[in-house]
């Protein structure tokens, strides 16, 4: 996904992923939807992201104001903003933030249409995952991904696509998505000169 690529087509669905616990290397980890009380820890997470991660991941601005807005307006009927919370530290800390839109985005729809793969706002969902820099490549994303796929299935979604695709140079993300069953279905340039892959998962 490319930074600041934000337009959305919305659809509604019932609440999901309200509170769930995943096992991460033998430790229970909270994986749940952000709520109104999470603005401070979500802001901490956003401002902690490195330049390298922001270069790969940019669904919206990463500042405290955005965290406050998102926590105040979160609507699990449209978008699941899932956070993984480490409670073993002195103060709870968000160590991953996965966005799952229950629907599809306009510019993704256009690209998939050209590929001959019509997206369906009522049945498809759209993923944008991130893991804190110091937790990347330790298996956390995979644990959360498996749970998120279960949640998407539980709420009746049948396919998952990547929000704005993934940068072709993002080798780890490309490996990660393939490992979780995604298929590469297209390639596009955004911005011009920079290749990205569209990848889709049948749920």
**Residues binding ligand COA: what is the number (CB under 6 A)?**
23
Measured distance CA(203)–CA(199) in Å, rounded: 13
Site for ligand COA in 105-134 (CB under 6 A): 129-131
Q: Which is nearer to ligand COA, 73 or 191 (CB)?
A: 191
- Give the residue at shortest CB distance from ligand COA: 141
Residue from 5, 79, 126, 136 that binds ligand COA (CB under 6 A)? 136
Q: Does residue 179 belong to the site contacting ligand COA (CB under 6 A)?
A: yes
x/- string (CB under 6 A) for ligand COA, residues 41-60?
------------x--xx---
- Beta strands 124-131 and 93-101, pairing class: antiparallel
Interface stretch with ligand COA, choices 28-36, 79-87, 100-108, 166-174 (CB under 6 A): 166-174
CB of 14 to ligand COA, least distance (A): 26
**Residue 131: which residues within 8 A CB-CB, separation 6 or more?**
95, 96, 140, 141, 144
Q: Does residue 87 belong to the site contacting ligand COA (CB under 6 A)?
A: no
CB of 12 to ligand COA, least distance (A): 25
Measured distance CA(119)–CA(137) in Å, rounded: 31
Q: Which is nearer to ligand COA, 33 or 98 (CB)?
A: 98
| Residue among 15, 1, 3, 46 at smallest CA distance from 155 | 15
Residue from 33, 148, 166, 182 that binds ligand COA (CB under 6 A)? 166
Which residues pair with residue 99 across a beta bridge?
81, 128
Measured distance CA(129)–CA(68) in Å, rounded: 19
Q: Does residue 153 belong to the site contacting ligand COA (CB under 6 A)?
A: no
CB of 130 to ligand COA, least distance (A): 4
Q: Does residue 1 belong to the site contacting ligand COA (CB under 6 A)?
A: yes
- The residue ranges that bind ligand COA (CB under 6 A) are 1, 53, 56-57, 129-131, 136-142, 162, 166, 170-173, 175-176, 179
């Amino acid at each position: 996904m490319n930074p600041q690529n934000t337009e959305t087509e919305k659809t509604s669905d019932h609440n999901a992923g309200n509170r769930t616990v995943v096992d991460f290397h033998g430790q229970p980890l909270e994986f749940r939807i952000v709520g109104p009380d999470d603005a401070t820890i979500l802001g901490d997470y956003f401002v902690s992201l490195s330049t390298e991660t922001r270069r790969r991941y940019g669904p919206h601005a990463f500042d405290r104001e955005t965290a406050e807005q998102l926590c105040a307006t979160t609507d699990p009927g449209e978008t699941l903003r899932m956070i993984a919370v480490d409670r073993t530290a002195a103060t709870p800390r968000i160590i991953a933030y996965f966005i799952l839109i229950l629907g599809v985005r306009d510019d993704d729809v256009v690209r998939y249409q050209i590929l001959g793969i019509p997206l369906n706002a009522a049945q498809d969902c759209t993923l944008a995952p991130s893991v804190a820099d110091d937790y990347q490549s330790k298996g956390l994303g995979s644990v959360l991904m498996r749970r998120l796929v279960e949640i998407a299935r539980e709420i009746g979604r049948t396919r998952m696509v990547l929000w704005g695709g993934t940068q072709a140079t993002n080798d780890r993300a490309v490996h990660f998505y393939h490992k979780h069953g995604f298929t590469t279905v297209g390639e596009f340039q955004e911005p011009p000169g920079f290749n990205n892959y569209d990848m889709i998962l049948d749920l």
